[in-house]
Amino acid sequence: MDAKMTEKMSDSAEETTKTSVINITETEGFDQGATKKLLRRLDWHIIPFMSLIYLAAEIPSNVMMKRIRPSIWLTFIMVCWSACMIGQGFVKDYSGLMVTRAFLGLFEGGLFPGVNYYITQWYCRHECGFRMAMFFSAATLAGAFGGILARGIAEMSGVAGLGAWSWIFILEGLLSIIVSFSAYWGINDYPAASTFLKPSEKDEVLRRLRADTGNLSEAFDLKYVWQAIADWKIWVHMCIFLAGFCPIYSFALFSPTIIKGMGYTANNAQLMSVPPYVCACFFTILASWLADRIKQRGLFLLVFQLIAIAGFGLLAGTSSTSAQYGGLVMAAIGIYPQIPLSMAWNSGNIGGSLKRGTGIAMQVMGGNCGGIVASYVYLSHDGPRYIKGHSILIGFIG
Delineate the domains of the chain, giving CATH numbers in brackets.
9-214+221-397 (1.20.1250.20)
Output the average pLDDT for the chain: 80
Cis peptide leading into 275, omega within 30 of 0?
Answer: no
> 16-20, 122-126, 179-183, 332-336: which range is least confident on average?
16-20
Q: What is the pLDDT of residue 11?
A: 47
Better-scored residue on pLDDT, 381 or 110: 110
Q: Are 371 and 3 in contact (CB under 8 A)?
A: yes
Burial class of residue 92 (count of CB atoms within 10 Å of its CB; 0-12, 13-18, 19+): exposed
Residues 6+ apart with CB under 8 A from 314: 323, 324, 326, 327, 330
Q: What is the pLDDT of residue 48?
A: 62
SS3 6: strand
Residues 6+ apart with CB under 8 A from 41: none
Query: Using one digit for the tens of pLDDT, what is the confidence trace for 44-69?
Result: 666 666 666 666 777 788 888 888 88
Burial class of residue 115 (count of CB atoms within 10 Å of its CB; 0-12, 13-18, 19+): buried
Better-scored residue on pLDDT, 10 or 127: 127
Q: What is the pLDDT of residue 353?
A: 77
Q: Are 75 and 56 in contact (CB under 8 A)?
A: no
Residues 6+ apart with CB under 8 A from 118: 65, 70, 74
Tell me which residue of 330, 103, 348, 375 sits closest to 213, measured CA to CA: 348
Q: What is the pLDDT of residue 75?
A: 92
Query: Using one digit for the tens of pLDDT, what is the confidence trace for 157-176?
Result: 777 778 777 888 888 888 88
Query: Using one digit for the tens of pLDDT, what is the confidence trace for 297-343?
Result: 889 999 999 999 999 999 888 888 888 889 999 999 999 999 999 98
- Mean pLDDT, rounded, for 329-358: 88
> 34-43, 348-357, 366-375: which range is least confident on average?
34-43
Q: What is the pLDDT of residue 133?
A: 92
Q: What is the pLDDT of residue 398?
A: 73
Q: Are 2 and 12 in contact (CB under 8 A)?
A: yes
pTM: 0.76
- Mean pLDDT, rounded, for 103-119: 86
